[in-house]
Amino acid sequence: MTDPLVESARAVQQRAYAPYSRFRVGCALEADDGRVFVGCNVENASYGLTICAERAAVCAAIAGGARRLRRAVVATDIDPPAAPCGACRQVLSEFGPDLKVDGVGPSSSVSWTMGELLPAAFGPEQLT
């Protein structure tokens, strides 16, 4: 059985701009209303300006009016699949504290909860 979210993540991964690292990443996010938003990594010669796939997808979701996320798929070309970086974990947590995150590689997959990826996350409740 095919998974449309995995297919979307793999398709956008092919559009990644990664001329320096050659590490292409695609991310597909499912909003709580079922809409899907995608993003890929966009590298820059000034490495600190690189945008990760997960944050690119979150920006697309927010621009599309979504505010709550329920599932993310992150596609990479390695096995086991890579998990989101720390910055992406924090951003994903803002919009999906109960988010399920699936990493998919060429021949394996792994699933995490946001709590596993970012225990004791900093969130809006700390700002009250």
Quote the pLDDT of residue 79: 97
Indicate which residues carry an active-site annotation: 54
Both tokens of residue 125? 């409740």
Both tokens of residue 21? 């690292």
pLDDT at 1 over 80: no
Question: How far, in Å, CA of 14 to CA of 66, rounded?
Answer: 24
Q: Around Cβ 95, how many Cβ atoms within 10 Å?
A: 19
pLDDT (tens digit per residue) in 57-114 = 999 999 999 999 999 999 999 999 999 999 999 999 999 999 999 999 999 999 999 9
User: Residue ranges of the domains in the chain?
Assistant: 4-123
Q: Are 26 and 40 in contact (CB under 8 A)?
A: yes
Q: What is the pTM of this model?
A: 0.95
CATH topology of domain 4-123: Cytidine Deaminase; domain 2 (3.40.140)
pLDDT (tens digit per residue) in 111-125 = 999 999 999 999 988
How high is the mean pLDDT of the chain? 96
pLDDT at 128 over 90: no
Residue from 63, 78, 16 nearest 44 by CA: 16
Both tokens of residue 86? 């720390």
